[in-house]
């Protein structure tokens, strides 16, 4: 580590000792490292998700599946249902695959960054985080908070994502061999609570004296390219009810919301050009619209209620009648949970019950 980098690590670790966040997957400074299973599980959950949103999910998962072997033995449908609401459902499928791979090797996670990268679903960030936090390995841990801190610390003007190699090199330069896990978590905490996207609290920053962007205007960093306009899709979801139950299908294993229980729908892709959907045959009634934003597109989903005395035939779609009084346990993805709430609020449907 360069001499100029040593004070940064030392100051940051002193600040972390006094100001660290207490989180259920962490060990406090100076304590033995946390269980690798808990580190890995939390890091997967935290990808593109806030700490506040993750805490109750983490508590529920670790209560239900306290070890990686327990998670590996769980039915996939149960894990996906427990994940519902966290979003980015490919993470849940990778979670199951990784748990089973670790269980197959006796339940022990590998300790090095390179070996961790070989596990299903572990990218550069997660592998580095587990190696540093759970095993004390020196690794450059770079999440969105760390990106922001480092681009400001060094006034890196290259726009993201092109700047990421430069950022990673800078993080590697300042990461100490001693307490690399605490250092990684200190960088995360600094970005989450001090070096925030807007109105950073520079007067409280332990490394403000070394920050090149402080005098230039820290909010200008990191430099980001203009946001692309998301395409707009339109589709329909179908609510079919009988005898206190609603018809749910299981989505294909691969693709968006893969393997999740869901309302039947029309795949959303046919009307990305703004054209109108063809009329439905049979006793269908529009019950309102759900708006939902995915990573790569926005969706307007029209909910259609089946108002006939029988039930609609869904040829070729594997599904099940799910009791309405247990619908929260079905683990519907957020977009379909919104549609279910819309159906429940529909007055005419309420009268039919």
Active centre residues (catalytic)? 43
Structure tokens at 28: 């406090």
> In Å, what is the CA distance from 146 to each residue of 39, 140, 174?
18, 10, 12
CA 118 to CA 97: how far, in whole Å?
12
Question: Which runs of consecutive H residues, i.e. helices, occur in the chain?
Answer: 6-19, 36-46, 51-64, 68-73, 76-83, 90-104, 113-117, 124-135, 144-153, 164-174, 180-193, 334-345, 347-352
Contact 221, 174 (CB under 8 A): no
How are beta strands 232-239 and 319-323 bridged, if at all?
Answer: unpaired
Measured from the Cβ of residue 219, the count of other Cβ atoms closer than 10 Å reads 12
CA 349 to chain centre: 34
Residue with tokens 């934003």: 293
> In Å, what is the CA distance from 45 to each residue of 17, 27, 57, 270?
25, 18, 8, 32
CA 225 to CA 234: how far, in whole Å?
28
Residue 180 burial class via C-beta count within 10 angstroms: exposed 0-12, middle 13-18, buried 19 and up: buried
CA 199 to CA 194: how far, in whole Å?
9
């Amino acid at each position: 580590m360069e001499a100029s980098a040593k004070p940064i690590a030392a100051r940051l670790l002193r600040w972390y000792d006094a100001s660290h966040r207490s989180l259920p997957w962490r060990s406090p400074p100076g304590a033995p490292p946390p269980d690798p299973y808990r580190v890995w599980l939390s890091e997967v959950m935290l990808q593109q998700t806030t700490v506040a949103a993750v805490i109750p999910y983490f508590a529920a998962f670790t209560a239900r599946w306290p070890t990686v072997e327990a998670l590996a033995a769980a039915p996939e449908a149960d894990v996906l249902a427990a994940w519902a609401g966290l979003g980015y459902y490919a993470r849940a499928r990778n979670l199951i695959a990784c748990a089973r791979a670790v269980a197959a090797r006796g339940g022990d996670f590998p300790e090095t960054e390179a070996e961790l990268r070989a596990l299903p679903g572990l990218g550069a960030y997660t592998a580095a985080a587990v190696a540093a936090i759970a095993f004390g390995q020196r690794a450059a841990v770079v999440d969105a908070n760390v990106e922001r801190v480092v681009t400001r610390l060094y006034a890196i003007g290259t726009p993201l994502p092109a700047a990421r190699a430069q950022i990673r090199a800078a993080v590697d330069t300042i990461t100490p061999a001693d307490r690399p896990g605490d250092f990684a978590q200190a960088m995360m905490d600094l970005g989450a609570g001090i070096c925030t996207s807007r109105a950073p609290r520079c007067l409280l920053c332990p490394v403000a004296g070394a920050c090149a962007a402080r005098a230039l205007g820290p909010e200008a960093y990191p430099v980001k390219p203009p946001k692309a306009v998301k395409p707009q899709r339109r589709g329909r979801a179908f609510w079919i009810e009988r005898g206190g139950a609603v018809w749910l299908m299981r989505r294909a294993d691969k693709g968006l919301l893969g393997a999740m229980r869901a309302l039947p729908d029309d795949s959303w892709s046919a009307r990305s050009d703004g054209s109108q959907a063809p009329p439905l045959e049979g006793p269908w009634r529009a019950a309102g619209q759900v708006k939902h934003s995915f990573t790569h597109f926005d969706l307007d989903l029209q909910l259609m209620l089946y108002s006939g005395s029988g039930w609609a035939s869904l040829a070729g779609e594997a599904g099940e009648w799910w009791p309405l009084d247990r619908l929260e346990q079905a683990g519907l993805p957020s977009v379909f949970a919104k549609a279910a709430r819309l159906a429940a609020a529909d007055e005419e449907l309420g009268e039919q019950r």
